[in-house]
Structure 1
Amino acid sequence: MKKLPDIAGVLLGLAFVTFGLNFFLKFMSTGGAPPEGSAAAMFFGAIVPTGFLTFVKVLEIVGGILVAIPKTRNIGLLVLGPIVINILAINLYVIGHGAIFKPPVIGISVLAAYLLYAGREKFLGLLNS
């Protein structure tokens, strides 16, 4: 069972590094822009020109690398945790129409939740101060 967190960490790290690098290098299709005037278009119209999305993508790359390495996995989860929550929130509230049930969203959420559960003893130490 010790190998399962390592496999999950590599998969989650690979996903975040891939999607983070794709923002800069554009080697995969993103599925096109959201419909003009939609909540998603307005949301991305606000975060892309301000540079906020660039900042998040850099954190995705750094967090993905950290979570793939067993010794730094929990630090990577601390970086990626808010990003995973935001991915869920954006897909649920901004994009809507069942977007939260897309396989990448489910995969990333399940892998992050599993790694958080697998390292729960170390995270519980943060609460006991």
Structure 2
Amino acid sequence: MKNKILFGVSLLFGLIMINGGLNKFFNYLPLEMGKEAMDLIAVFKSSRWIFNLVAVVEIIAGILIIIPKTRALAAIMIFPIVVGIVLFHIFQDPANMIASFVFLVINLWIIFENKEKYIPMISK
């Protein structure tokens, strides 16, 4: 049962990340935030490479997190971006902060469920 729930949550999380990455390229979902937050987004967009890099990582990690065999890798790939999303909403857009914390909890849960796969990276 836990594996089915984890798969369902991972599927939704992956689709949300894919959607977020694609939206950075095609801008089909308008962003509804305050002026300061939109100004910061404009700065990120003006640099071109950082916004595109985040979009590509979101798309790739979103696909990989859906696949159980690659879920552990994807969770680590997307973790810094999810932390950035949380910090962005804490400091720039507190009205939309709850969803970012939900993403962080999901990401941490996926990492926790795959902890045995990370042990070789940190053991001597």
TM-score (norm 2): 0.85
Cα distance in 1 for partners of 2:108, 2:11 equals: 14
Question: 1:18 is paired with a residue of what secondary structure?
Answer: helix
Give RMSD over aligned pairs: 1.8
Identical positions, percent: 23
Unaligned runs of 5+ in 1: none
- 2:115 is equivalent to residue 114 of structure 1: no
Cα distance in 1 for partners of 2:42, 2:95 equals: 22
Cα distance in 2 for partners of 1:97, 1:13 equals: 23
Number of aligned residue pairs: 122
TM-score (norm 1): 0.82
Tell me the CA shift for residue 24 of structure 1.
1.8
Contact 1:13 1:67 in 2 (8 A): yes
Question: 1:11-44 deviations in whole A, cap 9, x for unaligned?
Answer: 1101100111122223323225x31xx3x34432
Identify the range of structure 1 (51-60 vs 20-29) with the bigger mean alpha-carbon deviation. 20-29
The structure with the greater share of residues assigned to helix is: 2
Unaligned runs of 5+ in 2: none
Cα distance in 2 for partners of 1:26, 1:114 equals: 30
Letter in 1 for 2:18: V
Tell me the CA shift for residue 4 of structure 1.
2.0
